[in-house]
Amino acid sequence: MLKSRLIAIIILVSLIGLLLIQFRLLVVGARLEKVKFDQKIEEVLFNVNEALNGKNPVGNALVKLIQEEVYEEEETNVYLYEIVEGGLTKLFESQLNKQGITADFAFVINDKYNTKSTVHSTNFVVENFDFDQYSILLGDRIIGECHCEQVLHLDILNLFGYFLSELDYLIIPSILCFLSILLCVVFLFRNLKKEHQLNAIKNDFINNLTHELKTPVFSISLAVKILREKLEKGEISGAEQFLQLIDNEKDKLKIQVDKVLELASLESANYHLQKEPTDVHGLIKEMAKDFEVKLKERNGTLTQKLNAKNFIHNIDSTHFKNVIQNLLENALKYSQGTVEIEIETLTKGNEFQLRIKDKGIGIAPEFHKLIFDKFYRVPTGDLHVVKGFGLGLNYVKKIVEAHGGVINLKSGFGKGTEFTIKLYTK
């Protein structure tokens, strides 16, 4: 167990290391992409600035617009403004497309101190605009003819979202890698937890098996020793009593071994049930009669409500008797005080239902999914004082399923237990 934990810790540390390396690679990749993106934007701004600095309709309109606003202090010339705004929008769209950038953008031309806006895009909002993101001082022609310094600012809208979409070739593999590592960690801890549970169940099974087998072996050894002493002394009287004791203990030993072997045989791929048409009601009555002796020792009662209309089914009678016996013995073992057990059969549609109910100590809901597991025994309440291997209910479930049926449990701690077996008719 210690070795398994050490291996698990090493694997966990390795997985965490891989995760950190993957995250670091993602950060480095994102930084490199940001540098490339900034270089592209700088080239876009440079090309747009060169276009505005040349003698063309947009550049000429911009110079005139700045001169009128700065020196002639006239109201904004709508005609010139529209030429500049429309021309700049087309210039940016063209240059951004050349760089493979399809993001939304906004722009504005301000004086050097951002005190007055000369022209801006229609989606420009001063409160949301990032003046410090990307900017360039307009060219020599504009400075010379306007005798002022104007700055062109560009803002890529929702830059983070756009950047994420452009980095999908890095982000998607990183997320997949992260999820894979996370699943490995979860799987690792689940396996460790399961291994721990199986180890505890195995130890409990071995302890119970040892106790159950040692008791009849000890009784047989003691009886043989006493019998041998009597025979050596020539005392024949009482020999039959010890032989009967040995025979009884031998039967107990055989029953315990058969329980283990029966379950092993069910897991064999070559195993087949010997099914034949059987009167299930007759089977129940036979089992109830055999069970009367054990009930009398506990002053218990067994009520039969055999109401099923169709009670002839194609089953393996030997194993089905074992199923009923296991459920009845559980009801007896896990009842305190007065024992009250009820067997009921009924027909619902194409279902034959067999219910075995008791008023025992019950099973808490958190253990319902576990009690059919091999070797599992409920560790709470007074259940741990009852001897057993934890094989009975696992055997019951396997036999019921081998008959094409299902078994359900309804129980609560201190509220008794009800097992329902459903067999389906064609």
Looking at the structure, tell me whether residues 144 and 49 fall in a common domain. Answer: yes
pLDDT digits (tens, 9 = 90+) for 12-24: 777 778 778 877 8
175: tokens are 């997320």
Residue 424, strand partner residues: 351
Domain boundary pick from 266, 300, 325: 266
Average pLDDT of 96-116? 85
Return the higher-pLDDT residue of 294 and 207. Answer: 294
More confident residue, 294 or 380: 294
Answer yes or no: do 301 and 370 share one domain: yes
Residue 213, domain CATH: 1.10.287.130
**Neighbouring C-beta atoms of residue 112, cutoff 10 Å:** 11
Q: How far apart are CA 364 and CA 378, in angstroms?
A: 9
Domain boundary among 245, 266, 287: 266
- CATH number, domain of 356, equals 3.30.565.10
Q: Is 254 among the domain residues?
A: yes
32/124 same-domain check: yes
Residue 207 pLDDT class (50, 70, 90 cuts): low
Q: Is residue 379 part of a domain?
A: yes
Are 80 and 36 found together in one domain?
A: yes
Same domain, 14 and 161: yes
Q: Are 391 and 299 found together in one domain?
A: yes
Q: Looking at the domain assignment, is residue 209 inside a domain?
A: yes
* 203 in a structural domain: yes
Nearest-angstrom CA–CA distance, 34 and 48: 21
Q: Is the pLDDT of residue 143 over 90?
A: no
Strands 134-137 and 150-156: antiparallel
Q: How far apart are CA 111 and CA 138, in angstroms?
A: 10
Asked if the structure places residue 319 within a domain, the reply is yes
Domain of residue 248: give its range. Answer: 169-266
Q: Note whether residue 271 is domain-resident.
A: no
Closest C-alpha to 333, from 379, 365, 375, 297: 297
Are 30 and 117 in the same domain? yes
pLDDT per residue over 319-356, tens digit each? 888 888 888 888 888 887 778 899 999 988 888 999 99
Check whether residue 224 and residue 357 sit in a common domain: no
Number of domains in the chain: 3
User: What pLDDT is attached to residue 17?
Assistant: 80
In a domain, 363, yes or no: yes
In a domain, 355, yes or no: yes
Both 336 and 403 in one domain: the answer is yes
Domain stop point among 248, 266, 284: 266
142 with 190, same domain? no
Identify whether residues 159 and 196 lie together within a single domain.
no
- pLDDT score at 383: 42
Q: Are residues 115 and 41 in the same domain?
A: yes
- Residues 150-204 have pLDDT tens digits of 899 998 887 777 777 767 766 777 778 778 877 877 887 788 777 776 676 666 6
